[in-house]
Amino acid sequence: MADPFTDPFADLIEPFSRRGVDLGLDRLQAALAELGHPERQFAAVQVAGTNGKGSIATLLHSSLLAAGINAGLYTSPHLVSWCERIRIGKNPISEAALRQQLLALQGLGQRHQLTPFELVTAAAFCAFAEAGCPLVVLEVGLGGRLDATTCHPDRGVVGFGSIGLDHSEFLGPTAAAIAAEKAGVLQPGCTALSAAQSQEVAAVLQERAAACGAELRWVEPLDLGPWVLGIPGAIQASNGAVALGMLHALSERGWAISASAIRTGFAQARWPGRLQQLPWRGHDLLLDGAHNPPAAHVLRLELDRRSATQGTAQAGRHWVLGMLANKAGPEILEILLAPGDRAWIVPVPGHASWSTEALQAACPTWSQALQSAPDLETALSEATAAGGQSTGGSQAAPPVLVAGSLYLIGHLLATVARE
């Protein structure tokens, strides 16, 4: 949960937190009806998936702006401020404007027993309508079929990021079950885009698309040679292909989006907390949320690819890891670490987290590689002192890697911003 001493919206959002995660559309649909249906005042596209959906949404939104369309963007979670979740044109909503929206929704939110995510989604829909955004990119929060963003009635173009195991306590124990929940965003007549998925996920998407009368298009990864993407990592070849397919589908529906606008938008896109380089007290850090096994696998592949390209060692990395207790901490650890690596385990501020002792018991092979630190600052000091790359140094030693939770990344970015 947010820290009430640092979160300027805690007094308006925390009262709704007792509901926690409670998937469903009825509450928000009733609240939006009472508001006069602000969600019907703009068109929308939607991005679902387990990983990559934020990157896809950002590439898409950046291209729409480059095409001269004053598009909105709704994403989650945020790293530092709730305002990050709502972008009107190129700018995030101001604190004053978001506070005004949330204040106006307090009574309605209580009457309809909204969750925090539903409350903020309602605020976003109102803000987009008031700003006159003609088109909004909606990133699904959790699942899809029962996610609050699915309350928008007309999502004619849908994109799917990579679908895998995460949030199984809400979405189901198998990739197929999770895919069925995410495929619930499909509507009759919509155009859906997806890069390659596992065989079981692909079968579910195809079945659900056929059943509801949606068109499902499979896209091949971009050749990153001729493309310049502002979001780093080889995985963006697939994410960019989905965004490109969605933009083409929007063009088919009458939106004026040129090829040059797409290239400009892709190059200008920025998505913090994903393979983000950050200087910290004279040392280089590399930040990536990697908060579930599929994301951890992508990060490990990217690090190994970079090591192979640069001719540097693939082992002996220094990690600072913080993982939520409800995540697959041992599996993430097994995927990320290589022989010779060392990892400092820290609690994620404000959240129940995996402890060093619990991870050592679950992963005895890595017991000697794990060290406990009481907080992020201590861990970073110890990890950088143990061999992190100094900014501007002559040696090509790898940076200290910070991963395991987007909440941890957000805490680090907020800390650096205050220094």
At residue 389, does pLDDT exceed 60? no
Both structure tokens of 365: 């092979």
Quickly state the pLDDT bin for 5 (edges 50, 70, 90).
very low
pLDDT tens readout for residues 334-383: 999 999 999 999 999 999 999 999 999 999 999 999 999 999 999 999 99
pLDDT tens readout for residues 135-153: 999 999 999 999 999 999 9
User: What average pLDDT does this structure show over 221-249?
Assistant: 96
User: What average pLDDT does this structure show over 87-95?
Assistant: 97
DSSP assignment of 127-145 equals HHHHHT-SEEEEE-SS-ST
At residue 49, does pLDDT exceed 80? yes
User: How would you classify residue 282: left for phi > 0, otherwise alpha for psi between -120 and 50, otherwise beta?
Assistant: left
Q: What is the mean pLDDT of the chain?
A: 93
Can you give the length of the chain in residues?
Answer: 419
Quickly state the pLDDT bin for 171 (edges 50, 70, 90).
confident
Query: Domains in the chain and their CATH numbers?
Result: 10-268 (3.40.1190.10), 274-418 (3.90.190.20)
Query: CA 408 to CA 233: how far, in whole Å?
Result: 20
User: What average pLDDT does this structure show over 52-59?
Assistant: 97
Q: Is the whole model's pTM more than 0.95, yes or no?
A: no
How far is CA 42 from each of CA 251, 258, 279, 347, rounded to the nearest angstrom? 17, 21, 40, 41
DSSP label at 98? H
Helix (H, G, I), strand (E, B) or coil at 385: helix
Q: Tell me, what's the pLDDT at 6?
A: 63
At residue 109, does pLDDT exceed 90? yes
User: What average pLDDT does this structure show over 185-197?
Assistant: 97
Greatest alpha-carbon pair distance for the chain in Å reads 62
Rounded percentage of the chain residues whose pLDDT exceeds 90:
86
Please state the φ and ψ torsions of residue 209, each to the nearest 5 degrees: -65, -45
Query: CA 325 to CA 328: how far, in whole Å?
Result: 8
Q: Tell me, what's the pLDDT at 337?
A: 96
Q: Tell me, what's the pLDDT at 393?
A: 45
Burial level of 36, CB count in 10 A (0-12/13-18/19+)? exposed
User: What average pLDDT does this structure show over 312-316?
Assistant: 72
At residue 248, does pLDDT exceed 80? yes
User: What average pLDDT does this structure show over 407-415?
Assistant: 95
User: What average pLDDT does this structure show over 257-279?
Assistant: 96
